[in-house]
């Protein structure tokens, strides 16, 4: 075959001159990489999205038809933004965004399945179940599978959904997933498999697919239908995948099947930011890419446009401790601000909260708006004391990691037990608690309350058996009566900590396991709540404090769901509190990482896994690299364990792995003590903190 190169007319401008002007040398090399498999390791803040966008534009300007390019992203919004920019770069108008196969894996799967669903037993007009619809159908399938949910506490639909979804996306058998992630349901494995079989058949019969089916059936098409596989292997001349470190096994297998013809697959991501193994992401996809594609070219984007050199110094040293990684060294474009990351040891959790709140207000006075400040933590319960402190000081904040701590369903459930003992005429508390009892729904709960409402002593009526007829007596009701009697005992009723522990031990822990896919995290929340409540002299005092916090609002109340971002105050002025997982991809001028103590970050349960510590270190690295100008690492020197014993806290191992000279050590003193000990402290020293 003879090659013919079309020459430019004499004097024609260099079409890619602006690429050289608008991209750095690393980005330009990746964007203009020759055909073939390509791995782009894109460090934090290195312009990854820019590189992918210019790569698509480059391919189109090289003569690749837009319809022969597939761009897989993790949000459809990201794909739209990238393709909009491609249109600007190429001058191709809206034809580009319409013709490029861009979007999430699920979106592209749907486009393909609409054409070929009939070949795998579905009609092309199939419906897609959202998460809630899928849970409702699973509940129907439990009954159809003949599972006796009363004989043994059977997992609720949300947990079944997680088991089946995780097995699908990681290509593991259900028994393996149950044994590893839900060992307390191992005796029920055969029933769970039976429910899954009924669920799959029901979906086919009703011509519906859930989100996981879109990927599973896409892979089936490519594996089972040779003509379809050949069609799309030929069609997708170039495949680009963003955030490749977050793909699961199923997604990586689909990419490999599509790339078998042309092998022009470019995957872009950062192995050091792979932090979602708990939801099925397979870190090995990016780490083992060179093994699957031995001829792959590797490019590294290590020029960081986000953070100061001091912040990057700590991040680089920290991630270097991971054995399995693609080594990289982030280099700062920005000049030094002479502000090394601050390491702040606090006396306890309360002082930690006080320091963060005080420093946030100082930063605002120094010209850093609240919207440019974030507080990051490993687990949601770490924000407990801080939320209370921020509310007391009137500092508006929003939670990106879910609803506010005290507004979560499991927290409200347990507090309802305490409320009904403190005030036996609290109808809402009774209704909430009664509906937690198996086989008691709204109607039965209403009948029980009708009896309690007119009783001189509702607690005594329940514990004496006076409400048994309305409650449809059974083992669970008898256990509930015994629990209420125990909570109302004089030695217990004034100790919120003991009450919470009793509620957990007498059934609520088992309820969590059967109801929520993240039961372990919710249980940890409640144990921390029990520890926190021990500081109060009575249950009434504890509940009053929480009630005042809960009614503090910076905007009109609105319905809450588990995924809501609760916010208040002027949108221009609001502090962000977030888990590190939810912070990925975001950045702020000033970042606080709280509870940076061993046993809290890294999380103990994550260390049970063989690769757990390295994933936790990657999570720490993500936290560090969210900060642009200022970074504060705080931890309490003392805390209380589950037995209410005082424990000395050590700084996180991720802190001590870094040479101390890379930090600025801050010593905290209360204002009055500081004035007495050091009256000569000048006014311009920040808040009297000694460093």
d(CA 217, CA 441): 38
Q: Which of 338, 348, 329 shows the shortest CA–CA distance to 649?
A: 348
The tokens 């042309």 sit on which residue?
Answer: 262
The tokens 């390791």 sit on which residue?
Answer: 41
Asked if 66 and 100 touch (Cβ cutoff 8 Å), the reply is: yes
> Catalytic: which of 87, 158, 243, 413?
243
Specify whether 242 is catalytic. Answer: yes
Specify whether 626 is catalytic. Answer: yes
The pair of structure tokens assigned to 176 is 């393996």
Helical pair 249-258 and 211-224, crossing angle rounded to 10 deg: 40
Helical pair 226-235 and 211-224, crossing angle rounded to 10 deg: 100
d(CA 515, CA 509): 10
The number of residues in the chain equals 691
> Catalytic: which of 242, 282, 413, 629?
242
> Catalytic: which of 27, 247, 273, 352?
273
Residues sharing a CB contact under 8 Å with residue 225, sequence separation 6 or more, in sequence order: 116, 119, 120
The pair of structure tokens assigned to 373 is 């400040």
d(CA 542, CA 414): 13
Residue 639, helix vs strand vs coil: strand
> Catalytic: which of 27, 49, 351, 499?
49
> Catalytic: which of 626, 630, 640, 649?
626
**Does an H or E element contain 59, and which?**
helix 48-61
The pair phi, psi for residue 415, each rounded to 5°, is: -65, -25
d(CA 179, CA 185): 8
Asked if 334 and 365 touch (Cβ cutoff 8 Å), the reply is: no
Specify whether 273 is catalytic. Answer: yes
Asked if 301 and 48 touch (Cβ cutoff 8 Å), the reply is: yes
Going from the C-alpha of 492 to that of each of 370, 506, 541, the distances in angstroms are 42, 14, 15
The pair of structure tokens assigned to 3 is 């090659």
> Catalytic: which of 48, 193, 306, 404?
48
Q: Which of 228, 90, 594 shows the shortest CA–CA distance to 381?
A: 594
What are the residue numbers of the active site? 48-49, 242-243, 273, 626
């Amino acid at each position: 075959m003879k090659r013919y190169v079309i020459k430019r007319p004499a004097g024609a401008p260099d079409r890619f001159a602006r690429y050289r002007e608008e991209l750095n040398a690393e980005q330009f090399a990746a964007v203009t990489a020759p055909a073939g498999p390509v791995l782009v390791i894109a460090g934090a803040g290195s312009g990854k999205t820019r590189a992918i966008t210019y790569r698509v534009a480059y391919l189109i300007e090289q003569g690749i038809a837009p319809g022969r390019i597939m761009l897989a992203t993790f949000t459809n919004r990201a794909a739209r933004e990238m393709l909009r920019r491609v249109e600007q770069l190429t001058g191709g108008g809206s034809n580009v965004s319409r013709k490029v196969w861009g979007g999430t894996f699920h979106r592209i799967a749907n486009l393909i399945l609409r054409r070929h669903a009939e070949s795998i037993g579905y009609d092309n007009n199939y419906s897609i179940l959202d998460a809630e619809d899928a849970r409702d159908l699973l509940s129907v399938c439990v009954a159809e599978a003949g599972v006796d949910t009363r004989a043994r506490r059977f997992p609720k639909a949300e947990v079944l959904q997680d088991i089946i979804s995780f097995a699908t996306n990681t290509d593991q058998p259900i028994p393996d997933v149950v044994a590893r992630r839900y060992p307390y349901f191992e005796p029920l494995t055969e029933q769970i498999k039976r429910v899954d079989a009924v669920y799959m058949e029901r979906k086919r019969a009703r011509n519906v697919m859930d989100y996981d089916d879109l990927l599973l059936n896409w892979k089936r098409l490519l594996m089972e239908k040779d003509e379809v596989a050949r069609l799309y292997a030929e069609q997708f001349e170039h495949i680009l995948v963003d955030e490749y470190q977050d793909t699961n096994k199923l997604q990586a297998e689909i990419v490999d099947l599509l790339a078998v013809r042309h092998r022009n697959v470019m995957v872009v991501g950062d192995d050091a930011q792979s932090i979602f193994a708990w939801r099925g992401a397979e870190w090995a996809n990016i780490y083992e890419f060179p093994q699957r594609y031995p001829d792959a070219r590797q490019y590294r984007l290590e020029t960081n446009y986000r953070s100061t050199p001091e912040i990057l110094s700590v991040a680089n040293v920290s991630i270097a401790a991971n054995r399995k990684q693609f080594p990289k060294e982030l280099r700062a474009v920005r000049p030094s601000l002479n502000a090394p990351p601050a390491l702040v040891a606090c006396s306890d959790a309360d002082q930690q909260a006080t320091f963060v709140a005080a420093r946030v207000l100082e930063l605002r006075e120094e010209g850093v708006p609240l919207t440019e400040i974030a507080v990051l933590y490993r687990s949601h319960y770490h924000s407990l004391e801080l939320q209370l402190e921020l509310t007391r000081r009137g500092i508006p904040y929003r939670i990106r990691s879910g609803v506010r701590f005290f507004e979560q369903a499991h927290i409200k459930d347990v507090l309802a037990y305490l409320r009904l003992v403190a005030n036996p005429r609290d109808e809402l508390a009774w209704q909430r608690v009664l509906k937690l009892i198996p086989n008691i729904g709204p109607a039965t709960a209403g009948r029980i309350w009708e009896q309690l409402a007119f009783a001189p002593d509702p607690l005594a009526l329940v514990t004496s058996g006076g409400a048994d007829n309305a409650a449809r007596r059974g083992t669970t009701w008898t256990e509930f009566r015994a629990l209420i009697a125990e909570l109302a005992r004089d030695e217990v009723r004034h100790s919120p900590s003991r009450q919470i522990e009793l509620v957990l031990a007498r059934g609520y822990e088992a309820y969590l396991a059967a109801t929520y896919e993240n039961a372990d995290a919710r249980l940890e929340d409640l144990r921390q709540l029990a520890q926190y409540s021990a500081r109060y002299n009575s249950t009434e005092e504890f509940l009053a404090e929480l009630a005042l916090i809960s009614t503090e609002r910076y905007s009109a109340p609105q319905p809450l769901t588990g995924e809501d971002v609760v916010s208040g105050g002027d949108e221009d002025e609001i502090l962000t509190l977030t888990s590190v997982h939810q912070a990925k991809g975001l950045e702020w001028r000033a970042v606080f990482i709280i509870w940076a103590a061993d046993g809290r970050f890294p999380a103990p349960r994550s260390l049970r896994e063989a690769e757990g510590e390295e994933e936790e270190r990657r999570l720490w690295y993500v936290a560090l690299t969210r900060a642009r100008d200022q970074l504060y690492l705080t931890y309490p020197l003392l805390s209380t364990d589950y037995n209410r014993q005082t424990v000395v806290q050590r700084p996180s191992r991720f802190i001590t792995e870094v040479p101390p000279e890379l930090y600025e050590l801050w010593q905290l003193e209360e204002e009055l003590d500081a004035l007495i000990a050091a009256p000569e402290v000048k006014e311009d020293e920040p808040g009297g903190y000694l460093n």
